[in-house]
Chain A
Amino acid sequence: DTEVTQTPKHLVMGMTNKKSLKCEQHMGHRAMYWYKQKAKKPPELMFVYSYEKLSINESVPSRFSPECPNSSLLNLHLHALQPEDSALYLCASSQDGAGLYGYTFGSGTRLTVV
């Protein structure tokens, strides 16, 4: 298995909803990441779990909260989002914490906040 699997592929949610995005990999990678990508922009890092230690991009609002139940699974919990949070959310993993072998990306969850 050489994939990063993200579910759901599409999500529409209201500003008062609570939802979660899921990401899974079975490659034995020890680092996992959440990126946010707005249209026609490059991905921007939100969170890193490296060897089960969390690093946060401090510009990410608290309405996004990551969770790493185990080394294969990464969730992103969403609550009270704003329309400007609509974007493609990409999960990635890397074999080692330094990404020397490259990062494997999932196909993303396209989120629309209404």
Chain B
Amino acid sequence: GNSVTQMEGPVTLSEEAFLTINCTYTATGYPSLFWYVQYPGEGLQLLLKATKADDKGSNKGFEATYRKETTSFHLEKGSVQVSDSAVYFCALSHSNSGAGSYQLTFGKGTKLSVIP
């Protein structure tokens, strides 16, 4: 089946530290991969995406590269800020077999806290 495994937090970092959140996936075919961020009390915001192998998604200093050989899509940021404190979800888009539609399947989420 299709699934996403991401490192479970919480992760606590000091401001300006380097961030890595690991994400690996299991999928049939060639899924699109996403990172979403959820701030407290809010919905999900698309952070970045990649639609094929070796694509690099980037946004707001965050990056992730679609690695087909290791089935990974790790999120990185060189210098985190307090405002980056949120929950981060890795997700893949795949087809509902036989239903003719697609859906997002999420990892369990990683809570990041950045302290000054």
Chain A residues in contact with chain B, CB under 8 A? 6, 31, 33, 40-43, 45, 48, 50, 53, 55, 88, 90, 92, 94, 97-108
Contacts and interface: CB of A to CB of B under 8 A. Distances in A.
Nearest to B6: A42
Nearest to B41: A110
Given A42-B106, A105-B44, A105-B46, 4 more contacts: A31-B102, A42-B108, A50-B101, A99-B93
B43 A103 contact: no
Nearest to A40: B109
A98 B52 CA distance: 13
Interface of B: 32, 34, 36, 42-46, 49, 51, 89, 93, 95-96, 99-109
Contacts of A101: 49
B110 to A, nearest CB: 11
Nearest to A110: B41
Nearest to B57: A102
Contacts of B42: 107-108
